[in-house]
Structure 1
Amino acid sequence: MVVTVLAIGDIIGRPGREAVAKLLPQLRREFAIDLVVANGENAAGGFGLTPKIADDLFSLGIDVLTSGNHIWDQREMMNGFEDHRPILRPHNYPSGAPGRGWFCHDLGEKGLVLIGNVQGQLFMPPIDSPFRAADEVLRQGTGTRLRLMDIHAEATSEKI
C-alpha cells in the first residue's frame, strides 16, 4: 500500500498561508495525499508561529507542523506546545525546552509514520548535534511504516 506525502517548506507570512489555502485542498484531492508536513516557523509575518496561525494551518489540511530557529519569535508560542497538536520543534534543542522533536502520525490501515525535526549548527545559534538527535529520533520509529526528518539548516552539507 502506497503512502503519499506532501512536504511543504517554509510557509512565510500571509502570502505563504494564502498559497496553502488556495492550493492544498486541490493537491490533496488530485494526488490522494495521505500526509501533509509543513514547516511553519515563519508563518507569522516571516518571524515565528502563533497558536492561532497553527490552528488555521491545521484547518487547511496540514497534518504536522515542523519548525526551526524562529519557532519562538512570537512569545505566545512558548505555550503553544501544551496541547496535543503535532507542532514540532527541533529535537536537538536543550532538554526541558517546551514541545517535542518527533511525532508518530497514524494513517490507519496504512500504518504509522514517524516525523522528526532537527536543526543544523552552521550559521545558527549554538545547539546540540543534529546528527545525534536525528539518530535518536529515528530509533523511536520501530514499527513505523515510514520515517521522515525535517532538517532545518542553512548549509546543504548538514542535510545530506
Structure 2
Amino acid sequence: MDTTQDITKVDQLSKVIRFVEIEKDENNQPTGIKIRESFIGFTQVLDQSAAVLTSDILNALDALQLDLKKCRGQGYDGASVMSGIYSGVQRRIKDIEPNAAYIHCAAHNLNLVINDAVQQVEVVQVYAGTFYEGGVTALEMIRRPRKGCSFYYDKS
C-alpha cells in the first residue's frame, strides 16, 4: 500500500495483496505452494490520517471477503502515518491482528535508491521530462517498437 499523486495532483492509494496459494492434487491433497500477488486497485485519498488509511484497508479486505486474522505481514513505506509504532497504520492493524508483522517495503527502498541515482545523470532527467510531459501516454510509447533500438525488429 502506498500513495502517489496522479497527473491531476490527486493522491491515489494503491493496494496490493500478497498471499499463499496451496496447490492440491486430484485427491485434494496439498502438493506445494505458490506465492501470489494481486493488485486490488486505487482509491482517491482525501485524508491521509492513519485512522482513515486503516479504515480503507479494512474496507478493501472486507469487500474481498478476506479475513484479517489470516494476515501475517504488512508492508508500507517509512512515513510515520504508515510505520508509526504508536498510532500508525501498522500499529492499528497489529492491534486487530497481532500476527501481522510490519516490514518496511523493500520495493520502496529500491525506488528511493534509483531516484537518487538518476538525479545525478542529466540524460536520464532530460529523457524522463520529455517522455512524461509529451502528449502520448507512457504505456503507449513503451509498446511502440522503435527503429535503432536493440529490441526493434522488422516483422516483414
Question: Structure 1 length normalisation: TM-score?
Answer: 0.29
Which has the larger strand fraction? 2
Greater fraction helix: 2
